[in-house]
Structure 1
Amino acid sequence: MRSSFIISLFFIVAHSIQAQTAPKAEDIAAIKGQCGCHDVSFLYAETFASDKGYAFKDRYTAKGTELVFVDEEAGPANRPTKLVIQHLLVVGDSMVIKHWREDWEFQNTSLLKFDQSATWKRAKLTPEQAKGQWTQKVFEVDDSPRYEGSATWVHVDGRTYWESTVDAPLPRREYTKRTDYNVMRRTNHHEIRPDGYIHEQDNDKIIRSEAGDQLLASEKGLNTYQRTDAAKCQAAKVWWAKNRAYWADVRNVWGEVLANRNTVALRGQVKGQVLGRELDELAATTQKATYNSAASRQLIRQTIEKYLK
């Protein structure tokens, strides 16, 4: 009798632990709810500056068509704990550009936090801090790190959203044009809607130095992803089918390179070249004949390591 009671208690506790640590179905549906073929609009406007003499920069607007899809899942089939989401831009009817990538990891306790000058430092969360949370890891077009934030998906009053505040490098729309700040503190708000989703941002442009952080200006951003006819993204699907093996190897090599580093620092250029261009050229070279994953991974690693400080 006593032994059966202990066994029953064990299963109750085990079920309780599992219930506490398994991702919610609503969270997974929200993450996957970002997927589809979208008409996208990008809107940014500076809203505040502490210096009255600051000259506000022109507003930024852009539009495009983007395919967003889950390329990889890990964990139980009905409760994945990691989802790799790839973005591909479609220009015209046939031109495809590999865009950014986001990995979503459940109850992740190890993050790379941006410092400054293309440098990231490893930060740890306790299991208690990470409980129930999802980390969004955002990567550049060449799959190098960009920023990572952890937060809980919220499902309340008919709304579904996720929000975190993290430091990040300058956005691509500004990093070649501005040198008056060196850190963007991003508050990212992802909200799922029936026809797509919005990525709302409240960003602070920070001057970081040994003396501390100084706010240069704040801006508001709104990226709207509205689902459209899937045929508009057919070229992206065809392109990814031809190029997936190579780019999957790139992200896996990056994962191996980053796994055991407490600090990651990247060079912007090596002998006049940039990492993204070199990886694109390598993609074209390695896919001229039958793709050899082992040989390709070796070349990818050699290329990436040239840019690591």
Structure 2
Amino acid sequence: MGDTITTAKALNLQLLPGYQETKPVVFCGLYPVEADDYNELTITLEKLSLNDSSFHYEPETSNALGFGFRLGFLGLLHMEIVQERLEREFGLRLVTTTPNVAFKVVTEGGETLYIENPAKLPTEEDIVSIAEPFIRASLVTPTEFIGDLMKLCENRRGDYIEMEYIDPERVILSYYLPLSEIMVDFYDQLKSLSRGYASLDYDLADYRPSEMVKLDILVNGDEVDALSTIVHKDKAYRMGTGLVSKLKKLIPRQMFEVVIQAKAQGRIISRANVKPLRKHVTAKCYGGDVTRKRKLLERQKEGKKRMKMVGKVEIPQEAFMSVLTVGRD
């Protein structure tokens, strides 16, 4: 592969460049809904890779979701196509974690790491710098939507490059944008603000230093690694509070109190409590000394404390994709 074939008379021929293996730029975790389907998912990925060698996969384990795979894709559209094929063609029921990009991390020891899984990010004390991939985006839009689209790009930490008029009614807006900022709903916002007329094209530019932090979610003190994400420092608080608020609605009430917390830069930035279900233990106390009712309630309270220490909180599947709809204003 990579040989250039020509005629004997072509003496000044320039050789064609050789074959280069594709490199993924977008990553996400993929887990079977039922743990028993892990082997089937393994076989399915092997089959799919035979006719699509551009996506990469490797096994990984999550404390919250069990055994699964970390997949790498060429872009967002490629990720959506592979997910759709796995579900439609092979009939798999899957849980997909938040898509991530690969961050370039330089450690205190001088080592350069490419981190696509937030759970593998070194501690803050071991990090010298973090750089994230940027793209050069070209937005073709009617002139009447220029202001709204420029505001959208600036809200996504975009750097303005230039504006070129195609004709009196259409223009090309060029911006440098962090790849992580267009991962989720940027295209939907683009179409909404332009009433469907604007289009987006982009190419990878380079890595640029950014103030990125790891945002962790804790449920009853235990870190849920599948909900961890890497965000910009300025957006950590808003995203943390939004995610905690959404999880409070999604996690069902238990027989014990459930505490949901968001943590960034070593401190808790948001907290919410899911109130416990309460059994009416005093229902059969018809009158009598009030101290008897108090003893029953105190006994119930102690029981809930013990239950909280050993009880396991079941987190619904919707919670793992709730990161996608938070903090993207």
TM score, norm. by length of structure 2: 0.22
Higher RCO (CA 8 Å, separation ≥ 6 residues):
1
More strand per residue: 1
Larger radius of gyration: 2
More helix per residue: 2
